[in-house]
Amino acid sequence: MTVVAIGLLPVAAAALLVRPRGLALWVGPVVCAAVGVVVTAVPTDAAGDALTSLRNPVLFLALAVPLAGAPDALGVFEALAALVDGGRHLVWWLWVFGAAVTAVCNLDAAVVLLTPLYARIARRNALPLEPLVVQPAMLACPASHPLPVSNLAVLIVAERFDLGAGDFLVHLGPATVLSVVVGWWAMRRALPAPLPTASLDAAPDRRALVRGVPIIVFLLVGFTVGDSLGVPAWTVAGVALVVAVAVGAPLPRWRRLPGGAAAAGLGLGGVVAGAAPHLALDRLLDGGGAVGRLRALLVGAVGSDLTNNLPTVLAVAPQLPHRDQVWPLLIGVNTGPALVPAGALCSLLCGEAAGAVGVQVSARRFAWIGWRVGVPALLAAGTWVVFVP
């Protein structure tokens, strides 16, 4: 059963990208997990443990996407973007704004929310669509390190190793800044953006700011202070969503709930439960100091590109022999997926979100941009976490 257990992992990952007849995102991973359980390649107790470890992260993901849409429905992100709308530095400020939204609201939610917002901003400033529309996807990986809620992979590791928001800010905050700054430099060389030739005449909606900014502040405080008090991230997100609805945001429609992404994550978790014991990861990760940290970085990045970042972090994290390998592993599994369309769920969501606003980003095109932006960002952040533990 070893061959079957290992073989199901790349098949499940490939099914995220290759979906005949428009099959839903979750079908391939869930079917692979079910097959593994039926043929006993995935032990039922291991699958149960994997699903338990994913419970809180998946609950957060289920709430994060509709939560990100609530401030947008209130007009707060449109108002915040209008504060920097127009002028020579518009595209730079939108890059910084996108990094902040990614860090606080989760990368998957940021891609779903910011892609249509940036398309609107590009149109009203007479800018080409593609350089702005793909910005959220290119930011999703480099900016998703500084808080446990920034990335599902980070949240999984935070719960496994009992790490708080302060740990991530200290160890991954500088690496995030490096990857975002270097990513900006690389992005502008891959997709140059001309200066705006038109801008909004209207001032930012002050009423939207008054209603929405306190919710964002609550999220930031809840994800940091609440984390130190043992309050799960999904609880904070749920309270914020209730408050947003109370002040005027519409109830989320079921179509906006990321059920497919959540089910895909659970399916991948089940497949990993069967494959992980046969991968000899302890030998790949063996080594102390900078050598051990470099190995964790490479295993995280290569594993994410060959399969997906969720199964990679689920398989590798329990096998880490040294605690200081956590940080380079996370840089690898978070930034590495920028290189291939199936490396992370957010990359797959990018294609759907971009298509909805009239920009077709093929898998080949995504990889072309991703390599030019992701590699420099990965090298910058990776150098920090390997040599500055």
Tell me the pLDDT tens digit for each residue of 212-234. 888 878 877 787 777 667 788 78
Question: 245 versus 78: which is more confidently predicted?
Answer: 245
- At 38, the pLDDT band (50, 70, 90 cuts) reads confident
Look-up: residue for tokens 């059963």?
A: 1
pLDDT of residue 326: 94
Q: Which alpha helices (H) appear in the chain, and where do they start and end?
A: 2-17, 27-38, 44-74, 76-83, 90-105, 107-124, 129-133, 135-140, 152-161, 165-190, 206-228, 233-246, 259-275, 281-285, 289-306, 309-316, 326-335, 345-356, 363-387
Give per-residue pLDDT as tens, 139-156.
888 898 888 888 888 888
- At 258, the pLDDT band (50, 70, 90 cuts) reads low
19 pLDDT more than 80? no
Answer for the pair 303, 9: CB distance below 8 angstroms, yes or no: no
175 pLDDT more than 90? yes
How far apart are alpha carbons 365 and 137 in whole angstroms?
13
27 pLDDT more than 60? yes
124 pLDDT more than 90? no
Compute the average pLDDT of residues 71-87: 70
Which of 95, 303, 294 shows the shortest CA–CA distance to 186? Answer: 95
86 pLDDT more than 70? no
Question: 295 versus 304: which is more confidently predicted?
Answer: 295
pLDDT of residue 181: 95
How far apart are alpha carbons 3 and 9 in whole angstroms?
10
Q: What is the mean pLDDT of the chain?
A: 81
pLDDT of residue 203: 62
The rounded percent of the chain whose pLDDT value lies above 70 is 90
Look-up: residue for tokens 């295993």?
A: 299
Count the residues in the chain. 389
198 pLDDT more than 60? no
Answer for the pair 359, 133: CB distance below 8 angstroms, yes or no: yes
- At 184, the pLDDT band (50, 70, 90 cuts) reads very high
Q: Which residues contact 222 (CB under 8 A, 6 or more apart)?
A: 231, 236, 239, 240
How far apart are alpha carbons 64 and 46 in whole angstroms?
27
The rounded percent of the chain whose pLDDT value lies above 90 is 14
Answer for the pair 234, 59: CB distance below 8 angstroms, yes or no: yes
